[in-house]
Amino acid sequence: MTVSLEVSIVVPCRNEASNIIALVDGIVRSAAAFAAWEVIVVDDGSDDGMADLLAAAMTREPRLRVLRHDRSGGQSAAVHSGVRAARHGLICTLDGDGQNPPEEIPRLVAPFAAPDAAGIGLVAGQRLARQDSLARRLASRFANGLRARVLKDATRDTGCGLKAFRRDAFLALPYFDHMHRYLPALFARDSWEIAHVDVSHRPREGGRSHYSNLQRGLVGIFDLMGVAWLLRRRKKSRPEEILRGAPRQGKAP
């Protein structure tokens, strides 16, 4: 599949030395489908030698860029840094642990090449046959169900790292820690259409997860309340003289 689009692929990660090079190599192979592309790995304060591996990889692949946080800021901070630094108008994200197959990237981006793509702001991947522990799958199922009931975002799996979206629309969203888990609701809040693509999932080959179910659950309760507040408080209309002849809020000209 060839997609005539220009894409920045953003990989937030921390302490993934055992996974990152194979992942970057897979991304480079998949990115050949695009007219122009770059890979931005955001190193969120790693201390496992990943930085040295990436420095060597950059000498082999000139379209690989690395950003480094001097301390860990979390996944949303890493995604935000990568998107701000991106040179292209379309962004694709995936996790740095190798569980999101890079072969899925062209499928995530393809909806933006369709004739009716003008209203699409976000394409969200939804994992099939998750390769995680039973406890993690059950916790995720509960969290996704609760989120869907509260936010009504029509997305089965917001925790999937595989997403594609418009850079300018993302940067217009309110930024907060853990916002990456609520992108469908936030994009819909700004009147963008959300598309969904089922994607595969791989078991983790090396390293370990940086989050426990308890950590996710405690943080998620407060985040969910905050996002629900943002949705209720969104501005529903603007003065007619601003709207006349102007694009709808959040849309590209």
The domain spans of the chain are 3-243
Q: Note the maximum CA span of the chain.
A: 57
* In this structure, CATH architecture of domain 3-243: Alpha-Beta Complex (3.90)
pTM of the predicted model, to two decimals? 0.80
Query: What is d(CA 164, CA 110) in angstroms, rounded to the nearest whole number?
Result: 9
Summarised one tens digit per residue, pLDDT across range 20-39 is: 999 999 999 999 999 999 99
Query: What is d(CA 166, CA 26) in angstroms, rounded to the nearest whole number?
Result: 23
CB 52 within 8 A of CB 77: no
Query: What is d(CA 181, CA 123) in angstroms, rounded to the nearest whole number?
Result: 13
Kindly list the distances between the CA atom of residue 126 and the CA atoms of 156, 201, 220, in Å, as whole numbers in the listed order.
7, 9, 19
Structure tokens at 90: 């379309």
Per-residue pLDDT of the chain (253 residues), as tens digits, is: 556 899 999 999 999 999 999 999 999 999 999 999 999 999 999 999 999 999 999 999 999 999 999 999 999 999 999 999 999 999 999 999 999 999 999 999 999 999 999 999 999 999 886 655 555 655 566 566 565 666 767 787 888 999 999 999 999 999 998 899 899 999 999 999 999 999 998 887 765 655 544 455 445 666 777 777 778 777 554 444 444 344 444 444 3
